[in-house]
Copies of this chain bind each other. A is one copy, B any other.
Amino acid sequence: MLCSSIALFGLSGGATVRSAVGGGLPTVAVRSAPSMAAVAAPSSHAPAASAGGDGKSKKIFVLGGDGFCGWPVALHLSDIGHEVVIVDNLSRRKIDVDLGAQSLTPITPAEERVATWNGLSSREPIRFVNLDLALEYDRFVQMMREERPDTMIHFAEQRAAPYSQKTPATKRYTVDNNVRATHNVLCGIVESGLDIHLVHLGTMGVYGYGNSGGEIPEGYIDVQLPGGRERSILHPAYPGSVYHATKCLDATLFQFYAKNDLLRLTDLHQGIVWGTNTDLTARDERLVNRFDYDGEYGTVLNRFLMQAACGIPLTVYGTGGQTRAFIHIKDTCKCIELAVANPPEPKPDWGAVEILNQVAQTARVRDVARIVSDLTGVEMQLTENPRNEAAENELAAENELDVSNRKFKMLGLEPTLLESAAGLMTEVTEVANKYQHRVDRSKVVSKAYWNKERAAAAGAADAVSSIKGVGATA
């Protein structure tokens, strides 16, 4: 008998998302999104007692709570009645300084956005602590002991694949920061002696792309070993960048600490997040969420929407046949709420981590570009791919991606689908349009080349110096 995949939540049915946006593309009209009602929007008037869906208000550290996902999640958890402490070293803002780029939306300083929220909300005030998890271990453990959180959500990692491939300095920063931050969190939980549930933002990218040939399950996969032995194993990692590799390293550390120290760990393998604001960040301009459009941090759908707003052709890398998983920022908030409400039980004899794929659907990049093009009338433009994806594209021309998201569906997520998200896309283009005077067009195209061959193929004047690490911070 194969060991069955872990099903902590008593899942019996299931759902699989496949490339839902295919050859015959629906034309998406520019109108308010009829699907928005289906998105489980946070209720700002829910009583504190309903926090997390299990009737319990929790004390939650949001590590990296100043970032693109962390900030709206912090507000969402606060709004449904949890006590939230944001822990962040503001590294994302500092990287902007080094890159000479900035969020398209003018984000206020961390203290100001927190104070604004606390002025508007009737909930327990959010607190903000400036702390570097990779470097300030003792202070972090002391803080855990004093505050005794129930849950920690770990967004505190450098999260851009292109940035992680840009120069030796950015490769090394990504490994040094991410691995140490994750290990310090795990080691600190054990040292504190507290029963803390850790929820971690991983990525679909740990599995690689176009490498599976079948459905990507949620963490574990049943395999048959030589001699007919059957086994459930952690799905093989096949990272495509230094950034993705650090998330694979995290997974190995989680497996060990779950087994050895019986920690409660949830690892969420997220797709590409799009959108800007949630209902909560839209309440006041000082709460606005960051919007990255530069070549290093701007992810594909948001980049297309920004390009469309500015009348710049939509830049599709390579053939655009890359299939990726997507999720709207509102759904990210809902998924975190669900994960927080459902901590796994420790499993001493197995060491299994609760792993969920945090995705709404998959789609090909060029099909996503086509939706945006149809919506806005702006052209698509194929460009040289700076990423090391050539071999895969040559082999299969285009990759498939077939992802299970059964667990979140069973927990009640009703994901926002691209086909019916015209209203949300319009909201993004409106944001992009409003702030397009802040766009630096020279920053839109990625200057990060995966290796020296990619740099040469792109004919980048600064490619070699970039790869060699000269001007590493530029």
A-side residues, CB < 8 A to B, are 137, 141, 168, 171-172, 175-176, 179-180, 183-184, 187-188, 190-191, 193, 212-215, 217, 221-227, 229, 231, 233-234, 236-242, 244-245, 248-249, 252-253, 255-256, 259-262, 348-349, 388, 391, 395, 450-452, 467-469
Contact = CB atoms under 8 A, between A and B. Distances in A.
Best-buried of A237, A241, A467 by chain B (most CB within 10 Å): A237
Contacts of A242: 256
B234 A236 contact: yes
B349 A260 contact: no
The 10 A-B residue pairs whose C-beta atoms are closest, nearest first, are A224-B224, A223-B223, A249-B249, A233-B236, A175-B183, A245-B256, A168-B191, A248-B252, A349-B391, A179-B179
A221 B214 contact: no
B245 A225 contact: no
Given A172-B137, A349-B391, A214 B227 contact: yes
A271 B300 CA distance: 46
Given A213-B231, A252-B249, A172 B184 contact: yes
A451 B260 contact: yes
28 contacts: A168-B187, A171-B187, A172-B187, A175-B183, A176-B183, A179-B249, A190-B467, A193-B452, A193-B468, A213-B225, A213-B229, A214-B225, A221-B225, A222-B226, A223-B224, A223-B225, A223-B233, A234-B237, A237-B252, A238-B255, A239-B255, A240-B256, A244-B256, A249-B249, A260-B450, A260-B451, A348-B391, A349-B395
B252 A468 contact: no
A191 B253 contact: no
A219 to B, nearest CB: 12
Contacts of A238: 255
Contacts of A450: 260
Nearest to A395: B349
Contacts of A215: 226
Contacts of A183: 171-172, 175-176
Contacts of A225: 212-214, 221, 223
Contacts of A248: 252
Best-buried of A214, A223, A234, A262 by chain B (most CB within 10 Å): A223
Nearest to A256: B245
B234 A252 contact: no
A284 to B, nearest CB: 41
A348 B390 CA distance: 10
A23 to B, nearest CB: 24
B239 A245 contact: no
Given A172-B183, A183-B172, A260-B451, A469 B249 contact: no
A223 B230 CA distance: 9
Nearest to A450: B260
